[in-house]
Structure 1
């Protein structure tokens, strides 16, 4: 990683008594960007065995080739004679012959963040990153494999490190000056607890019964843990609507890796997050604009936190008995992701963290994105999400899934005159199944028992089936007007597009033709100021809004640099007819019943 090198020496000894797996990791520099692993194995009775590397992990609905990052795999007997092994890429494992003589295996692992092969891309949130004594992201599913025989054995991981780096994790951890020790009850618990090592930037606060921890690595120290904690606290308070008395954990950790401009080789504009039982990990760019930082983090943080409801607690047997290499997928991704995505936005609306206009725009954009895909069954997509035919449709759980959750909420609240909601349904199911999984085929029956026939019809037609939703009919129930297409008069300066040069910190016109916009902008023009305000990273959204989405017909002045010379351009927008798609807006003439249902659903209060 640009000369920043790591070697982690890992010695795993598995005690035959109690089957405890003991691992040692040493974080230090090396001329290789590798992690070296040595596993001592207790006696096996079988003549052959497979050492598996997870292919699919909980919370990530795609098959990934972690095994491709493993090299130099070898197996030895107790005299260090090498045993026959073969690589099983399709099974994501290594076949070891004469397993009854097996004593030790060794191999090396490459850093996944250094891989730039798009065909073998692994999300940063589920990968590994090792940088010369400064920052380490360790996802154990990419570091340690498992034998089926020992998958439920306890793990004891001792990590030797150089101060002052600090390891943040939700795992049970004992800290000393130069080493940490992590103890988990099983392989599943181990891989559910990533570790972020970096120069400490941490903070915590108590909310109700839970201590919330924040650990932030900001490449250029632009952002910090205190900022993230301040953004997160009102989101956690918003979840009181669901957790009315207490949270279901004593501790929870938010781990964030925030990339800088120099990280284009690993970030490439991407961002993401991955949930765990007692933590969540986030991969985001640094942001100097505090408002933009808040916008970037808010929904993602609340969404990931609400996963403690589902699928972490409320889930089917397929999730509960998850097989990392031969997974059988549940049919309820619409619940695990779609309902959570919808409710995260709704709770923000209920708690004044977003506006009604924001919520309407979210709904509209979900319809726009959903309309780009041909009809398909959500349940079929969910069970086949790992296949080539359906893997490309996975992202629709955040658009189509959330949109359908909204429609269900409308039908549930209409049927109960606003006395019962999708949130109520979710939390009842959570209480019923938090200690044991539900049957995948029986969940819809349970939902029908708790709601009404209109909800069942919606599920049959649109979640199990692939019929298109009549949004005008459903939205009319809350006094919203929906128009698939509408011609509107809008103010317009013309076609202009812009890019940002992160190295030079300049905003530059692109795909812009002089005779197609009122300012006469051309490709390569550098935009210096808009409306006599210098254009910066901290204000560019507000200023570009003046020329890309004008609200009045007043003149706007922009200063540009073209061919090394500064000049000023002045223009007024004109009204043009423009086709808008999937327009949504409140009906000013809606009935009292429609208004009251809308007020109850969107603002969580009666209008009486």
Structure 2
């Protein structure tokens, strides 16, 4: 009895003092993420640190991460952070801002512990893009974008990390990482991962779920698909044929380029009937991609969406994996300096995602041309005189953050025009894929370039006149004359005036519904028709009433459909909300039209070598 009493007192004393920490000086940061003992939908994380040679340090959770180009403040999801010295005594910490904590007397620091909340079941996901977010669903699914779970000490980002994840025995990790596992007890397995530095940890998401995984080889590369379907509607095998077809074609398109031996696709299909991930899309990583869609998506649409987004993300193995600047290689997660070359990282990647499909026979020439002209039309919704490098360098600022979508439009078109120019200068023998291969050979994933030296290197590898292309259309304010570039490959590009409905174009509405608030709003980045422009409508305006009839989530269809009966010359009024203020807009109806670019003619005859150049361009 006395022995039991001593043991109880001793345990109580130790629990008050905090965890016992080994005095051994490890050469790495050791992390434990506990997926077994989930409490209140939160995961416990502990980090054991090697000897810290600073009196005061700052512990950080990322403010932003590569690939998102947004400020997400992942420190918002950290709770109950504590620091302990080597003896297990709690140390004083001071929170500096949303993402940083100051720790004094840090030479004694042994461990930091905290709880992590997830984003998927938070209203509007806390503003975090779903594929960059996190999920904690005990015993079912854990979407671990690790930058949201694991932090770093400032100026110690290059320390090696050992990641130990304790998980229930029935769940299995989907990842591109190598790891080994060991049983802790009948209910817990520990997976152990090693990373050379913090960036590698952030660049390798892991998704835990009941195993639904498939893999296949394409050439020398292993492709892994790990799928989680919230209600079990889909299985990985349902998507296998489309994925094999797509990624085999991509690998064939890349030819000799072989940057990774394993690539993982982590696909999360959200339950639309509950508070779950609401966004859709993907986030690239060097050897993997996280993808989020709704289970409501039909298999046909899901297959095409997977092809589109995975195609784009996979081509990131070219850039920024193999070709990137110092700003990316030494990414500052809390005070990022952005590169000038989003035209390459995202734009050229998106261009390849379209080009490979026509090159490998997955779409027709006409379909490819239509997709590129759609990008021309969408890009015209942005200020076409802003230098692309300027927008890229300041993409996180208020002045330019809303232009990011244009990276996938004009950025891809820069890639297209550069490709055509390179083909023309080399008599069809060399294009932008060849250029990326050469850049990859010079740099590679461990040798970044200086931002201001990239164009010099491109000019050296290609042709002196390429400098003019960059100075005029990428660094300069001159809009790209797409018609002149397409004329080189026998295509005619002209504007065309098309009649539309008042609220629809080709059955696609100019308005959308905010699923969280129920507001009906005019879509951003849309070429509004002449009537809506005359009315003074702007993208983002919330529509409150039409001709005095209130508009709501449940009562918007009738007033909008009534517009199809309008005749030219009628008086019409909109009550809209813009930046929190209600405004009445009035005008008379006109026949609504939009002006769009169209490829009106494809020259089939040989004109100054245009047909032959087009064959080189599309077929390589």
Q: TM-score, normalised by structure 1?
A: 0.80
8 Å Cα contact 1:497-1:512 kept in structure 2? no
Question: Which has the higher mean CA deviation after the structures are superposed, 96-105 or 51-60?
Answer: 96-105
Q: Determine whether 1:303 maps to 2:304.
A: no
Instruction: Output aligned runs, 1:370-519, within 5 Å.
Output: 370-374=379-383, 375-434=385-444, 435-486=446-497, 512-513=560-561, 516=564
Aligned-pair distance for 1:425? 1.1
Question: Which has the higher mean CA deviation after the structures are superposed, 68-77 or 439-448?
Answer: 68-77
Give the unaligned 5+ runs of structure 1.
1-9, 519-575
Q: Determine whether 1:154 maps to 2:156.
A: no
**Cα deviation per residue 1:331-373 (whole Å; 9 max; x = unaligned)?**
1110011001001110011111122222122112211221111
Q: Determine whether 1:131 maps to 2:179.
A: no
**In 1, distance between residues paired with 2:499 and 2:603?**
18
Give the secondary-structure state (helix, strand or coil) at the position aligned to 2:400: helix
Work out the number of aligned pairs and report it: 530
Q: 2:199 pairs with 188, 198, 214, which one? A: 188
8 Å Cα contact 2:379-2:410 kept in structure 1? yes
Give the secondary-structure state (helix, strand or coil) at the position aligned to 2:350: helix
Q: 1:556: which partner in 2?
A: none
Q: 1:111 pairs with 102, 109, 118, which one? A: 118
CA separation of 1:418 and 1:136: change in aligned 2, threshold 3 A: same
Give the secondary-structure state (helix, strand or coil) at the position aligned to 2:33: strand
Give the secondary-structure state (helix, strand or coil) at the position aligned to 1:342: helix
8 Å Cα contact 1:13-1:39 kept in structure 2? no
Give the secondary-structure state (helix, strand or coil) at the position aligned to 1:298: helix
Instruction: Output aligned runs, 1:560-571, within 5 Å.
Output: none
Question: Which has the higher mean CA deviation after the structures are superposed, 309-318 or 174-183?
Answer: 174-183
Q: 1:252: which partner in 2?
A: 263
Q: 1:100: which partner in 2?
A: 107
Aligned-pair distance for 1:214? 1.1
CA separation of 1:432 and 1:586: change in aligned 2, threshold 3 A: farther
Give the secondary-structure state (helix, strand or coil) at the position aligned to 2:495: strand
Aligned-pair distance for 1:36? 2.3
Give the secondary-structure state (helix, strand or coil) at the position aligned to 1:114: coil
Aligned-pair distance for 1:48? 1.2
**Cα deviation per residue 1:533-565 (whole Å; 9 max; x = unaligned)?**
xxxxxxxxxxxxxxxxxxxxxxxxxxxxxxxxx
Q: 2:33: which partner in 1?
A: 25
8 Å Cα contact 1:214-1:228 kept in structure 2? no
**Cα deviation per residue 1:4-45 (whole Å; 9 max; x = unaligned)?**
xxxxxx999687534222233332365512222333444434
RMSD of aligned alpha carbons: 3.2
**In 1, distance between residues paired with 2:372 and 2:20?**
50
Instruction: Output aligned runs, 1:276-425, within 5 Å.
Output: 276-286=285-295, 289-374=298-383, 375-425=385-435
Give the unaligned 5+ runs of structure 2.
1-17, 516-553, 567-590
Aligned-pair distance for 1:166? 1.1
**In 2, distance between residues paired with 1:431 and 1:448?**
16
Give the secondary-structure state (helix, strand or coil) at the position aligned to 2:168: coil
8 Å Cα contact 1:235-1:302 kept in structure 2? yes
Q: Determine whether 1:165 maps to 2:165.
A: no
Aligned-pair distance for 1:450? 2.8
**In 1, distance between residues paired with 2:231 and 2:397?**
40
CA separation of 1:451 and 1:13: change in aligned 2, threshold 3 A: farther
